Amino acid sequence: MIIDKTILINIVVTIIAVIVHGYDADIDEKFPIINDRVVIGVLAQYPYKDEHQYIAASYVKFLESSGARVAPIFCGRTSDYYETLLPKLNGVLLPGGGSPLDEGPYAETVDIIIESSKKFYDNGKYFPIWGTCLSFEKIIVHFLNGSLKWESQCHVQNLSLNLELEDSILQQKNVTANYHRICMALNEWEKHEELTKNFQLISHNKYKNYTFVSMYEHRKYPIYGSMWHPEKNQFEFVINEHVGNINHDRWAIIVAQYFGNFFVNEARRSCGRFKDKLDESQHLIYNYNDYVEYTGQNGKSSYEEIYKFPVDVNHGSSSSIPSSKGNRHDDYFRYQLMK
Residues with catalytic function: 133, 229
The helix (H) or strand (E) run that includes residue 70 is strand 69-73
Query: Helix, strand or coil for residue 286?
Result: helix
Of 43, 21, 150, nearest in space to 92 by CA: 43
Interior angle at CA 161, CA 228 and CA 213, nearest 5: 55
The whole-angstrom separation of Cα 223 and Cα 24 is: 12
Of 74, 67, 73, 42, nearest in space to 56 by CA: 42
User: Pairing state of beta strands 39-43 and 92-94?
Assistant: parallel
Q: Distance between alpha carbon 169 and the CA centroid of its chain, in Å?
A: 23
Query: Helix, strand or coil for residue 51?
Result: coil
